[in-house]
Amino acid sequence: MKKRTLLMSALALATAAATLSGAAHAQDFPPKKPVTLVVGFAAGGAADAAARLIAKKLGENIGQSVVVDNKGGAGGNIAHQFVANAPADGSVLLLGSVGPLTIAPHLMKVNYDPFKDLAAVSGGVNFPNVLVVHKGAGVKTLAEFVQLSKKKPGSVDFASTGAGSASHLAGELFNQRAGIDMTHVPYKGGAPALQDLLGERVTSYFAAPPTALPHIEAGKLIPLATTGLTRPSYMPNIPTVAEAGYPGFEALNWYAFVAPGKTPAPLLDRWNQEIVKVLNDPSVKEALNKHGLTPQPTTRAELTAFMKKESTQWATIIKERKLTAD
Contact by Cβ (8 Å): 230, 239:
no
Domain count, the chain: 2
Query: In this predicted structure, what is the pLDDT of residue 293?
Result: 85
Give the range of the structural domain holding residue 113, as residue numbers without chain letter. Answer: 34-127+253-321
Residues 162, 222 within the same domain: yes
5 lies in some domain: no
Same structural domain for residues 206 and 65? Answer: no
Q: What is the pLDDT along the chain (326 residues), one digit of tens a residue?
A: 555 555 555 555 544 444 443 444 447 899 999 999 999 988 887 778 889 999 999 999 999 999 999 998 877 899 999 999 999 999 999 999 998 999 999 999 999 999 999 999 999 999 899 999 999 999 999 999 999 999 988 899 999 988 778 898 999 999 989 999 999 999 988 889 999 999 999 999 999 887 899 999 999 999 999 999 889 888 999 999 999 999 999 898 899 999 999 999 999 999 999 999 999 999 999 999 887 788 999 999 999 999 998 999 899 889 987 887 76
Torsion 286-216-133-184 (CA) sign:
negative
CATH number for the domain spanning 90: value is: 3.40.190.150
Domain assignment present for residue 246? The answer is: no
Residues 39 and 121 in one domain: yes
* CA gap 318, 137 in Å, rounded: 28
Domain assignment of residue 21, yes or no? no
Q: Using N-to-C axis directions, what is the helix angle for 300-321 and 166-178, rounded to 10°?
A: 40
Residues 207 and 259 in one domain: no
Which residue intervals of 111-183 are DSSP H helices? Answer: 142-151, 166-178
Q: Residue 221 sits in a domain of what CATH number?
A: 3.40.190.10
Do 241 and 226 touch, CB atoms closer than 8 A? yes
Local structure of residue 240 (DSSP, 8 states): B
Using CA atoms, how far apart are residues 69 and 205, in angstroms rounded to an integer?
A: 25
| 99 and 139 assigned to the same domain | no
Q: What is the pLDDT of residue 224?
A: 98
What gap in Å lies between CA 269 and CA 276, rounded to an integer? 11
| The overall pTM is greater than 0.85 | no
Residues 92 and 156 in one domain: no
